[in-house]
Amino acid sequence: MKVWIDQDLCTGDGLCEEIAPDVFFGLDDGLFYVKESAGKFGEEKLFDGEANPAGAEGTARIPDGLDEAVIEAAEECPGECIFIEV
């Protein structure tokens, strides 16, 4: 499964990071992003400090064992802006 966030709809409340801190994080712009960058798609490596692209360009593989947390985050997201692709 893969996940991305539409930052145009993100409210910046941080609920996604509370639910799945290994997958989502906030930047100084007040918006939230997927940690694993599209450039690392398919690798096991998580976020290494580089900003992830916004929107669908930031689509990334969900790390093993975190599918349920990401699904919960998407269900709880008030902006309805976390998109999961199977």
15 binds ligand SF4 (CB under 6 A): yes
CA atoms of 67 and 47, how far apart (whole Å): 17
Residue of 23, 34, 62, 81 that binds ligand SF4 (CB under 6 A)? 81
33 close to 52: Cβ distance less than 8 angstroms? yes
Determine the Cα–Cα distance for residues 57 and 51; give it in Å rounded to an integer: 12
Selected from 1, 50, 57, 78, the binder of ligand SF4 by CB under 6 A is 78
Residue 27 or residue 39: which is nearer to ligand SF4 going by CB? Answer: 27
Q: Does 72 bind ligand SF4 (CB under 6 A)?
A: no
* Residues that contact ligand SF4, how many (by CB under 6 A): 14
On whether the CB atoms of residues 9 and 78 are closer than 8 A, the answer is no
